[in-house]
Structure 1
Amino acid sequence: MSQSKDIHLYTASTMNGWKPVVFLEEAGIEYDVTHIDFSQKEQKSEDYLKLNPNGRIPTIVDRSNNDFVVFESGAILWYLAEKYDRFLPQSAEGRSETLQWLMFQMAGVGPMMGQAMYFQRIAAKNGNEDPFAIKRYVDESRRLLEVLNTRLTARTYLVDEQYTIADMATYTWARAYYWAKVSVAGLPHLQKWFERIDARPATQRALEIPEPYWAFFEKRRC
């Protein structure tokens, strides 16, 4: 019988679902993973709602900390970064900057791009096309990507030269610009940032767990 790992991750192949996978793969942390099947509404099951009352993914259980449960992807990244002392600057200023950009993703990039995806990929295909909503969310997503492009001027990563949880959280969403049908033309610093993270084997490996969905990123599995 195999020994349980400290971290048990419940997730699915979505932009939010990949965030903790990226951290764990980059940090080289062994973990157990349970794939939550949306088609079976497993995220709404009685057992899962005991872990995550919001019925969303991802969620972790830290077996090494009295089965402490953390839900919400940004909170999970912060918890893991503090627990393992990885991908988080040591200085108070650096940690604050990381938190600011993490919140920028959570409050802006994710919701806006998610709505752009929803209204174009789901609502429109089900006969509920709303040009006003599509334009609103595509335009706002583009504006947020422009903010990122400006931030990345003369910077390797969002918090200077260090790859942090802010990059991890933002990459899984921003890199899916194709799926949101948002142009990145004229955003060279953002595109270079994509290229740098595209070249990280651990991050790319994470995007295949629990299963790959490369269509989000307009590329084929290598």
Structure 2
Amino acid sequence: MSHGKQFTLYMHTTGPNGWFVAFALEELGLTYEPVYLNFQKGEQKAPAHTQYNPNGRIPTIIDHHNGDFVLWESCAILLYLVDKYDTEKRLTVTDDKKYTLFQWLFFQASGQGCVLFQVAFEIPYFGQAFWFMKWHSEKIPGAVERYQKETLRVFGVLDGVLAKSPSGYLVGDKVTIADLAFVSWNRAAVTGMVPAMEGVDVEKQFPAFYAWYQKVNARPAVKKVLDLYDQLQ
């Protein structure tokens, strides 16, 4: 593999978590070569990938400007990128606010985020809703209802906090990696990929969330990555 670009990013054309790493790379002006693993062929579990990520999931990065340093888990990657390369603190914060940023990253990972397909899926709410409504061979109404409610609850948490934020962002007065971490699954939900949101008027029911969603998605770096995502679908 050519290392003409600083990072190799193992990801998936649809799976959301790799894409919000790409948002941060673009925001920071860091070059990267995406490697789109084919989940149907099990490429995420193949030795070519597991030699770097023994968990066999995405995303995984290799930083070729730092001794081919390897890191996996999306939120850990975001923290690495800002610690190592965000010298101007464009996407991060200092002092006690950094713990609030950590809080939102952990909430995203545990309460919202998930790998989309069943061969690599994790357990948080959005993915559970998608799994039980779309992929599970047996319809389980109780599970569907539970994860529909939990998905909406997560949106309610975000909406309530954002409604009280003077800046309209999760931490401080600017966009941070905490906001970027939510973009992929937010978009999947708003555009109908997450079945739990079908029939929900997001703009009306979660207005502060929707304003935040629109504002973050309109950022040039984010829009550039989303345009690429759309081209690959």
Q: Provide the TM-score with structure 1 as the length reference.
A: 0.87
- Work out the CA distance in 2 between the residues paired with 1:213 and 1:158: 30
CA drift at 1:208: 4.3
Pairwise CA RMSD? 1.9
1:199 aligns with 2:202: no
- Work out the CA distance in 1 between the residues paired with 2:43 and 2:101: 32
- Secondary structure of the residue aligned to 1:34 is strand
For residue 97 of structure 1, what is the aligned residue in structure 2? Answer: 100
Q: Percent identity?
A: 39
- Secondary structure of the residue aligned to 1:32 is strand
For residue 179 of structure 1, what is the aligned residue in structure 2? Answer: 193
Equivalence map 1:115-126=2 (5 Å): 115-123=128-136, 126=137
Aligned partner of 2:101: which letter?
T
- Secondary structure of the residue aligned to 1:163 is coil
1:109 aligns with 2:118: no
Q: Which has the higher contact order (CA 8 A, sep 6+)?
A: 1
- Work out the CA distance in 2 between the residues paired with 1:209 and 1:83: 26
CA drift at 1:73: 0.6
CA drift at 1:8: 1.2
CA drift at 1:31: 1.4
**Cα distance per residue 1:51-98 (max 9 Å; x no partner):** 001100110011121111100111111111111114111x22121111
Q: In 2, are the aligned partners of 1:11 and 1:18 still within 8 Å (CA)?
A: yes
- Work out the CA distance in 1 between the residues paired with 2:188 and 2:3: 36
For residue 133 of structure 1, what is the aligned residue in structure 2? Answer: 143
1:166 aligns with 2:178: yes
Segments of structure 2 that go 5 or more residues without pairing to the other structure are: 114-123
Q: In 2, are the aligned partners of 1:207 and 1:213 still within 8 Å (CA)?
A: no
CA drift at 1:213: 6.2
* Richer in helix (by share): 1
For residue 10 of structure 1, what is the aligned residue in structure 2? Answer: 10
- Work out the CA distance in 2 between the residues paired with 1:46 and 1:175: 32
- Work out the CA distance in 2 between the residues paired with 1:78 and 1:209: 24
Q: In 2, are the aligned partners of 1:21 and 1:209 still within 8 Å (CA)?
A: no
Segments of structure 1 that go 5 or more residues without pairing to the other structure are: 215-222
Structure 1 residues 212 and 106: alpha-carbon distance in aligned structure 2, compared to 1, 3 A threshold: farther
Q: Provide the TM-score with structure 2 as the length reference.
A: 0.84
Paired residues, what number?
A: 210
Q: In 2, are the aligned partners of 1:62 and 1:69 still within 8 Å (CA)?
A: yes
CA drift at 1:39: 2.1
1:190 aligns with 2:202: no
Aligned partner of 1:62: which letter?
D
- Work out the CA distance in 2 between the residues paired with 1:52 and 1:6: 18
